[in-house]
Structure 1
Amino acid sequence: MTKLLRILLCSSVFSVGLLATANASLVAHPDGMVYDTDLNITWLSDANFAETSGSAYGYGRDHRMDWNEAMAWAASLNVGGVSGWRLPTTDAFCENYNCTTSELGHLFYKELGGRAGHFIFDSSDPDLALFTNIEPVPYWSSTEFASDPSRAWIFAFSDGSQGGLMKNTPGWCCNLSAWAVHDGDVGAALVPEPETYAMMSIGLLMLFGFRRLKQC
């Protein structure tokens, strides 16, 4: 009987751990995806996929793009059989620091523990390990300036700032990085939900326990 109680206790602890993972703000999936449960969006875990993906989706000029190129690049992606990627959106009513209502700003400040005026790698948040190749060069958003459609909003992980830039000015000054995001939890179909693992473990361990009882 003592062994059965021990088994059930271990099962409960294991299941609670899995369910806690399921409730986390950032959830890692296979095929290089990270799901943000707060905003219900999925990030590519590689923040420099435009360069590291090679010939399939790699981009020239050291992966730097103007706004039109970045928009087209994100829309062209098919990662793990999933298409429909886009550039992040921005809160067009917030400028400079602490723009947490933008998708990139939410990731920087709320999820990864970034601080205004500091590079993201100054943060000690363990969720940083979910991402690779975060760039010091600002990232394009898909949001244009309402008052000036020739400009688009950008966000810098080098200091947590948000501002605007001309979308298509020739030259190196306006060729920035691009980070793709997708609406919803698109990586969920690739693996069983943590709740499923938890229920399976409980069922198997309870079945084992009942068999042990019959032998007593």
Structure 2
Amino acid sequence: MFGESVERLNRFVALLAEQGVERGLIGPREIERIWDRHVLNSAVVGELVPEGAHVVDVGSGGGFPGVPLALARPDISITLLESMARRVQWLEEVLDELSLENADVLRGRAEDKAVRAELGAVDVVTARAVAPLGRLAQWCLPLLRTGGLLLAVKGASVAEEIARDEAIVEKAGGESIDVVQCGVDVLEVPATVVVIEAAPRSVRSRKGRRRRR
């Protein structure tokens, strides 16, 4: 899965094990589960990312899923979007330590107008343990080009979340919602990913105006 990047991935895992708890990136019980629960669970999302895509990882935190995804897919470019200064510092240190040239860090929030203006219309937005689906769609869909994909890594209650937030996602400009299992041949428990395709921007704009009345 990681090819020539496996040594850098091992270094990333070592950094998390050494500093992750102290810097508030992972809990003490997560150290033994970094590989399967965090690293591989993140990397398999690459199954859904088109070749050469520009990806924005919203709420990147400790670097998930963005850093493993960047290591597994050197053909794509990834912007790690994070609002907390201490986590931004961590991400910048990681990119420097790993010499990860296909990733960069941007401080801000997906809903910020300045962030949206700087990023433009991207191909894919990823998010893992960031927010409920409806709120996530409202934040992230404006970042996407027409037909772009929001890939939200979710847990076992995903069906309930979709049923609750489907109307919000549609109003935010989600044209379709699918649930995909990634890493079926790699992980004992595959990653559950909600895939939302962005409607044309003109359609999203009209829906937004109706919502504000």
Same fold (TM over 0.5): no
Larger strand proportion, structure 1 or 2?
2
Larger radius of gyration: 1
TM-score range, shorter chain: under 0.3
TM superposition score normalised by structure 1? 0.26
Higher relative contact order (CA 8 A, sep 6+): 1
